Amino acid sequence: MTTTKSRAEIHIAVLMGGWSAERTVSLSSGKECAAALEAEGFRVTRVDVDRNIAATLAQVKPDACFNALHGRWGEDGAIQGLLEVLGIPYTHSGVLASSLAMHKEQTKRIVSKHGVPIAEGRQVTPEQALAQHVMAPPYVAKPISEGSSVGVVIVREGANRPPEAIRQIPVTRDNQIMVERFIPGRELTCGVIGDKVTAIIDIVAAGHLQFYDFEAKYAPGGSKHILPAQIPAGVAERVQRHTLAAHNALGCRGVSRCDYRYDEAKDDLIFLEINTQPGMTPTSLIPELAAHAGMTFGQLVAWLVEDASVDR
């Protein structure tokens, strides 16, 4: 964001809440970001986003918006398109990158063309997924366009039939969900801040949890983060190379984070997804990765504001 104003004169609207399945996470992210921006000297207005957001922003008249929304409408290109129309600079990725990254199948198609390894998968209707196994277990059934592990169902090896939980998975407009081969092993995550790739975190979910699910992500004690990940140098290089490739292939801006599964027994590294609006809660990964690189939380959010623009 190009301006001659001092920080005290720069008015930032922190967009949070919304009405997606990740509303509570967004409120937590927004609260942390707003407090950090105020500590960095910015003038801040907290905005709990609803469908009257255009009128609200016309009243608030911010110099820029810090996008702390998560999930649909907040990170899928919708709010980004509105901000482009209103001409208000905003943080994180633009319309196209946000839309593509939120759609897991489109993301996989694009990043795979840039050498990023993906899991075998297919789009099906919930009815098809419930009628019979659409691939041999173990596999994962999940939404195509949700984040924070919302609606993920793991079908274990030996399952006689698909579980009824599949019926609860959020669907796309054309009634589709994604089914993917289950990758055993370690959960690795790596970020990009600006044009620099971060270190890697090895995420170990608490023993009572099946995988790095919503509780593991956001509940205190839900997971342990090993930073830097204790993995072979060659594997770390692959993770970082694929993370930067995915970020650039989709045209992401600001910060992003890629998640992987790594099966040590088979040396099988598989990309899961990219997140263009990573969480900014007390248990979130990007702030932890930034701190590891010597960047405080305040410096991170201030940098995101300074990077804000339109036509992203």
**Tokens found for residue 309:** 């623009």
Among 14-18, 228-232, 282-286, which stretch is predicted with the lowest mean pLDDT? 282-286
Report the alpha-carbon distance of residue 49 to residue 67 in Å, rounded. 10
pLDDT band at 215 (very low <50, low <70, confident <90, very high): very low
Following DSSP, what letter does each residue of 150-205 receive, concatenated? TT-EEE-TT-SS--GGGGGS---TTS-EEEEE---SEEEEEEEETTEEEEEEEEEE
The catalytic residue among 273, 284, 288, 312 is 273
Average pLDDT over residues 165-192: 92
pLDDT number for residue 223 = 74
Report the alpha-carbon distance of residue 281 to residue 179 in Å, rounded. 29
Residue pointed to by tokens 């089914």: 179
Residue 256 annotated among the catalytic residues of the structure: no
Question: Is the pLDDT confidence value at 217 over 50?
Answer: no
pLDDT by residue (tens digit) across 263-291? 999 999 999 999 999 999 877 999 999 99
The catalytic residue among 18, 22, 29, 151 is 22
Please, are residues 141 and 177 in contact by the beta-carbon 8 Å criterion? yes
pLDDT by residue (tens digit) across 101-127? 999 999 999 999 999 999 999 999 999
Give the distance, in angstroms, between the CA of residue 67 and the centroid of all CA atoms in the same chain: 13
Question: Is the pLDDT confidence value at 133 over 70?
Answer: yes
Specify the CATH number of the domain 7-92.
3.40.50.20
Q: Which of 168-172, 222-226, 229-233 has the highest mean pLDDT?
A: 229-233
∠ CA 148-151-152, nearest 5°, is 85
Closest Cα partner for 255 from 208, 169, 191, 308? Answer: 191
Residue pointed to by tokens 């209103």: 86
Among 156-165, 210-219, 272-281, which stretch is predicted with the lowest mean pLDDT? 210-219
Question: Is the pLDDT confidence value at 53 over 60?
Answer: yes
Residue 212 annotated among the catalytic residues of the structure: no
* Nearest-10 crossing angle of helices 297-307, 23-39: 90
pLDDT number for residue 221 = 57
Report the alpha-carbon distance of residue 242 to residue 270 in Å, rounded. 10
pLDDT number for residue 149 = 62
Residue 218 annotated among the catalytic residues of the structure: yes
285 three-state secondary structure: helix
Asked whether the whole model's pTM tops 0.95, one would answer no
Question: Is the pLDDT confidence value at 210 over 70?
Answer: no
158-to-130, 139, 140 alpha-carbon distances in Å: 16, 11, 14
Instruction: Return the half-sphere exposure (C-beta side, CA atoms, 13 A cut-off) of residue 73.
Output: 14
Average pLDDT over residues 84-89: 98
Sequence-ordered alpha helix ranges (H) in the chain = 23-39, 53-60, 78-86, 95-102, 104-112, 126-131, 214-218, 233-250, 285-292, 297-307
CB contact set of 55 (below 8 Å; sequence gap of 6+): none
123-to-126, 183, 190, 191, 256 alpha-carbon distances in Å: 10, 18, 26, 27, 25
Average pLDDT over residues 174-179: 92
The catalytic residue among 145, 148, 256, 284 is 148
Beta bridge partners of 173: none
**Tokens found for residue 234:** 């060659």
Residue 251 annotated among the catalytic residues of the structure: no
The catalytic residue among 23, 46, 253, 257 is 257
pLDDT number for residue 206 = 64
Domain boundaries, the chain: 7-92, 101-118+183-276, 121-181
Please, are residues 258 and 246 in contact by the beta-carbon 8 Å criterion? yes
pLDDT number for residue 228 = 96
Residue 275 annotated among the catalytic residues of the structure: yes
The catalytic residue among 238, 253, 279, 307 is 279
pLDDT number for residue 213 = 44
For the chain, what is the mean pLDDT?
92
271-to-45, 52, 103, 119, 285 alpha-carbon distances in Å: 37, 37, 14, 7, 17
The catalytic residue among 63, 76, 187, 259 is 259
Q: Domain 101-118+183-276 belongs to what architecture? A: 2-Layer Sandwich (3.30)
254 three-state secondary structure: coil
Residue 187 annotated among the catalytic residues of the structure: no
